[in-house]
Amino acid sequence: MVKSAAQAHACDHISAHQRDLSDWTSTIFNYGETAWREYQSAAWYVSLLREQGFTVEEGSAGMPTAFCAQWQNGAGPVVGLYAEYDAVPGNCQAPVTHRAARDGLGYHAGGHTDPHSALGVSGLGALLAVKSAMQRYGITGGLRFTGEPAEKVRGSKPIHAAAGYYDGLAAMISFHPFYMLPLCNTVRWDTHCGAAYSMVYRFTCDDPGNWGHGDGAPIPQSHSAVRAPGANDALMMMYLSSKALRDSMLPHQGGWSISEAILTAGQATADNLPAALAEIQYMIRVPEIAMAEQVTAVLDKNAAAAAAMSGCRWERQWVSKSRPGLANHTMASVVWECLQSEGAPHWDDEARALAREIQSSAGHAKMDDPFLAECQQLISPQQAEAILRQDLPPSQLNSTSDDYTDMTWHAPTARFYIARPALRAASGKGYPSWVMNALGGIPETIDPMVQTAAKVIAGAALRVLEDRLVREAAAGEFVRRTGGGIGGDNWVAPLCDYEPPIHLRWPEYIETVRGRDWWIPA
């Protein structure tokens, strides 16, 4: 691909600001803020974007740590980019070559795993480079940059989609660090991610003394009288019954999963009083919406039964309902051309030396070339698609889950991957999770991915802005696949019929007399 002058300018802009992008990635990595509680991270983005001339709406769609930034250079097409910045509880890792929590914290605090710290700054670097190129070469149109909190629980994108934040875009460009083979330095082709539902079931024991007393008789002896089992028992019955029924919830095909997390309510009770409150969260990853609805129906029945047996009432709070993805070959081809032009990330001698230190710390032999071979190679969308389909039934159209899929129903979207640093290992011997987390925070090892991803995003965005034929082809394909565009016969409407779940007891950092700490102290 021969780059346009604007595309070359954007790549040069990203290279010239390599130090800034590196520092910014480290800033978000060290915040390590988790879902719905990314206060510092969101504020940092909002402040920088305003300094760069963007109009920024804070708290977009009712989400305090979301935002929508816009910039216009005259009338014309608008391209969408975005940042994610949520971390994961229980993965607090310092950017060093051995296992160590970040200063002043324990391992149970938040930490970046994917890492979204680098994902977001890749998009930001591309955004600023495209803006600079548009100004330099008089390219008309606009940029929309959304801040997407709580991606690890599929949080903001279904909500933003339902509120119209992706409508009217000529294209959306979605990037994620490589996370599974063969999706390394490639673009999704036909098999996009599937649906995902997530919810929290809450059990509340309001009146334990009247459980088993039809006439509401008072309790004569507080330590020996009959009482309701309470919320903890309800939660455990829900947990165990759903585990037992898991094999019956869905057909034995399709690459689906159900996972759960018991949430800490934070209350302590006397030894003779049943727990008043308990919560459990479920995440359902399935190829189709109908399968997610099927699982939800069973979970609801389990919750009702558990509540009835334990003297509780139950309620369900939605966290996410996201749609399966929609392909767009035109946009995929545009991004693939840009990826071929940039090539795979390259790690220099300093990065390789640090990687060897990590290998040694993790009990592996040091290797001359410690990085996984696939991280340094491109694989075409068609090749990756063929490998991905090997283990899937022909009838299955989607696989795994990620909430970028909600964007695909509102604008022609490309989803691509760039290799994050991953290490080679001796046969049959893996690495502990801290290794990937550390590699995602050490500048020398994560910066090559940020640079490559930012240049691919910028190149694709400018191609859309500069090439009317590409825009028309992408829009035409979107209309065909949806049966008429937004609202068409084959279009899947947003599933979000709930308020942002921001009031749940999500893990977070707190200020104490000891200073800033994780909500469960080390």
Q: How many CB atoms lie within 10 A of CB 157?
A: 30
Q: Sign of torsion, CA 228 234 236 238?
A: positive
Spatial contact of 61 and 167, defined as CB atoms under 8 Å apart: no
> Using CB atoms within 10 A of its CB, is residue 392 exposed (0-12), middle (13-18) or buried (19+)?
middle
DSSP for 433-477 reads HHHHHHHTT-HHHHHHHHHHHHHHHHHHHHHHHH-HHHHHHHHHH
Would the CA dihedral through 47, 52, 57, 62 be positive or negative?
negative
404 neighbors 192 (Cβ within 8 angstroms): no
Each residue's pLDDT tens digit, 407-466: 999 999 999 999 999 999 887 788 999 999 999 999 999 999 999 999 999 999 999 999
Domain extents in the chain = 5-193+324-482, 196-322
511: phi then psi, degrees, rounded to nearest 5: -100, 125
pTM of the model: 0.94
For residue 87, the 8-state DSSP code is B
Contacts of 252 (CB under 8 A, 6+ apart): none
pLDDT, tens only, 165-175: 999 999 999 99
- Closest by CA to 306, choosing from 203, 198, 226, 207, is 203
Cα–Cα dist 23/145, whole Å: 20
Helix 443-466, helix 5-16: angle, nearest 10:
160
> CA angle, corner 43, sides to 37 and 49, nearest 5?
140
Phi, psi values for residue 33, rounded to 5°? -85, 140
**DSSP β-bridge partners for residue 512:** 515
What sign results for the dihedral spanned by CA atoms 219, 224, 226, 228? Answer: positive
Closest alpha carbon to 48 in 37, 36, 59, 56 = 56
At 509, phi and psi to the nearest 5?
A: -85, 150
Say yes or no: domain 5-193+324-482 is CATH 3.40.630.10. yes
Q: Token digits for 154? A: 């599929």
Strand partners, 89: 110
Report yes or no: 402 and 193 within 8 Å, Cβ to Cβ.
Answer: yes
CB 119: neighbour CB atoms within 10 A? 29
- Count other C-beta atoms under 10 Å from residue 208's C-beta: 21
Kindly state the tokens that stand for 178: 């490589």
Query: Domain 196-322 has what CATH class?
Result: alpha beta
Report whether 334 contacts 470 (CB < 8 A): yes
Structure tokens at 436: 């990937």
Q: What is the Cα 507 distance to its own chain's centre?
A: 16
Q: Going residue by residue through the chain (522 aa), what tens digit of pLDDT does each one get?
A: 789 999 999 999 999 999 999 999 999 999 999 999 999 999 999 999 999 999 999 999 999 999 999 999 999 999 999 999 999 999 999 999 999 999 989 999 999 999 999 999 999 999 999 999 999 999 999 999 999 999 999 999 999 999 999 999 999 999 999 988 999 999 999 999 999 999 999 999 888 877 766 555 555 555 555 578 889 899 999 999 998 888 777 766 667 888 898 887 656 666 667 888 999 999 999 999 999 999 999 999 999 999 999 999 999 999 999 999 999 999 999 999 999 999 999 999 999 999 999 999 999 999 999 999 999 999 999 999 999 999 888 888 998 889 999 999 999 999 999 999 999 988 778 899 999 999 999 999 999 999 999 999 999 999 999 999 999 999 999 999 999 999 999 999 999 999 999 999 899 999 888 888 898 877
| H-only helix segments in 138-230 | 156-162
Angle at 85 between CA 80 and CA 86, to 5 degrees: 130
* Full strand arrangement of the beta sheet holding 67-73: 55-58, 67-73, 141-148, 78-84, 171-177, 413-418, 186-187
8-state DSSP, 147: E
Give the integer Cα–Cα distance in Å for 410 and 84: 19
Residues in the chain, overall count: 522
Residues with Cβ within 8 Å of residue 359, at least 6 apart in sequence: 365, 366, 367, 370, 423
Kindly state the helix (H) or strand (E) to which residue 257 belongs, with its residue range.
Answer: strand 257-263
* 301, containing H or E segment: helix 289-310
